[in-house]
A and B are shown apart, each in its own frame.
Chain A
């Protein structure tokens, strides 16, 4: 053997797992686009008082149905006003708050409920699992839209009611996925090792199980947030969700429905922003799933 290193004998070095994850995340176009758009809309929602040209609630009978600037209106009301004289653009901007808040909080509530149920079922098995699975089946059999409509009709349509109803209804996917992940993880050797050395159950759940199911959890959170936003929009559209005068995009579509023939933008614009928001959240969720578990891809 000579002094010069034989190329055939060289060791193969590769990047670390964290570097790989970062590289994958940064090159995933869907994930980047989704995150950027969501962040943008969150900013719009937070900065609504600054961005909106007018108060979304202030009505003006004299300024009813002013056309938007591209149909002959003025820049004072860039997107015109609605049938009660309220500035359309301002309502649109404040609508972001409603959608994002409902989406986030409902996803949080259902996430907590579903994760608790799913992890318990997956870890403890036996009777706990049987009960949880039964409850999941019951929840899946319930027609969500119908039940949500009925409850809102009974209790009245406020932001709080809608959030609570959605939060209490959308936990099923959390439960199913968390249960499956926990089942998988519980069988791994490091969990058995922790049990053998006498670690307490809460400790095992916190330190062994949760970090490993976290990836799946994040993905489901984004998906259910999108789901909640779409449901709220549908409920508000049907008149049994958020009530006027609160600016909800779904409500705005419903309000614009009657004038759709002549002013189609009244219906198109709020729906379009809904679409963009939900699309961005879905892309984010899918992107997260792809990046953390690329084996699932082609």
Chain B
């Protein structure tokens, strides 16, 4: 709009008239151009500043519109995936329905074998079709592979089906802040991964300086706020916003002590310890800053105060992470700080291994004139539990002491930087300094032994000897051929292992050590309920099933018992486990059986190798008569002690421990020997065979002392035959030539290697090795069908029934998944409609803001036109008017 400005009072001059008319004319033309612009572009605002608030609204509207456009695209794409998935699921459902009907007919025991074979054939075809559906591709994506969508999800591996996909759903942003899963994983539809073998053990990772704050409190993390530390006189607020690790927190606290004080922060295995110097007195308190929770979360909140005593925090529960060191789980090493007055001489000593056994050991620094200048001798007296360090008075430095302690092998020492920052270790150690080890707990993780996994009929032995971190261990499991998925459990306290294989039993047991037990991943444990065994069928017991009373007893007469253990020379053990609840109860019943006492009781435990109940007879009479006899129930079968449809257990007879001594090329010819203990049993297991080069003239002598077999030889001269003779002459062992690796071995080879050359292993007593009757399996379509095929082949009516039952479960799961997918499809439909509506509304709003109001613009244009005409007329007339015309 043209501005209105006042007409100057007083005179009207030619130039004034001209200027005003010109500006008036200008305004009119400008307004006309603007209107023409609006009309020709259809847009009301030529530049945003023409109507700044409307422009701001317009920018937002345009952005929302652009987002809605994307939402429409996303909804369309997602719908197409969901529709394709749904039609695949319909196909699965169809196939399952027909199979179930056939299988149901097979449950009828009157069916002939021929009929069952036909059904089995049908099931096989359905299986192939289902795998085909499971591997369906749509728009370049395997629909059922999870997020691993370029990987064929299902593969037939021998008689089993293995799932290669994962359980991660892909998500799309179908609308602002609305995430929708666009996939269903193979596991959701088919049940492709077994239920987890959840680690029951709490691996209890310890707190280290590098433990991240966000892995504390079981992974909840710490709110990075502030807290207040006070000694009663001076107060310091400590903000930990920049802290990443617990070590950062410790450093922040230490570097901001109350005025004039010194604070040190230590870590126990799971908590912070804050210690204020004693000299200043006062009362150490840690409080929150106005309603914060940081101190409480760090476990160091203490408003009452601890005086000058150390403030020991509560458990901050660090979570197991991929990078957690295996050395930092299952316990802590006892430790002690050995401070000396002066600088560069504080030493921190740790026991070499986890465990409480070193707690209470006293470390003493003793002045000893016989020790050389700057020398130190450390000795550990296990009986008196004293670690004594003899030092030269005044000259021995901390570094020397550290080396001396490390040389003991039972302790590791390092220079401590806590009190003594930038400790170089060059300061003299203070004699008389002492301390007591504390804080050791737990056990050393047995990573060398490893575990045995039985999956798909194959036994896989996995050891963790080279693993350093949890991730290394998981990688060894995931990378093994055992087809398992291993990961850290959700609560962050242990690991869990699951099988990717359908159609087979999945068992985890020991490999001679305690690895699986420590990780809590045995499939059969002492705590396993009997009712859970055999896929939940439980254990048939005399007391539990009266129907079985009528079963003919294997041994007539006497009270009803579940099974009998027979053995050498001692009375039979009649075992009645009707009151047992868990496997542990069964083991205890037998071990404490009234008849199982005396010189050589039998022992029952869980298998050392693999899993299952293991009965050992340590009576080395050589009669080898240990056996288990099924009696008045099927408990012996159901506990896996006696093979199904058998009455007696298979016995693995006693064997002596054996060591095989071989050498790598070029010394591999005619040098190998095999040494066996003369008596059976495990007592010689772990005995080392040590060759010592201390003789001359090609001689050899053997001695057995301190649990080691020493063979003294003349290295480079003594032959294998001479060694065999020497060992046989000693008497505890028998030796012979090794021929499996070196078939032409004649024992003439010269021995050049010394040191520990072999270790005895494998010695065992008579034992009955039970089976693991608590296998896990993959609950899913493929498993059910594969099991059904097996059962049909074996005409196992019970198993067919179980398979049909499982198919019902599968059907239920499928129905659930379909319902879920259907709900998603519906919500996509609704969303699609809504997004379209919103799009329309946004366009309407945008149009209101941005588009030209044509009626208004045209009427404005006419008005402006009239204005301009008037202006032109006025210009013409005004300029003509002059008094000269009238003169």
Q: Do A and B come from one complex?
A: no
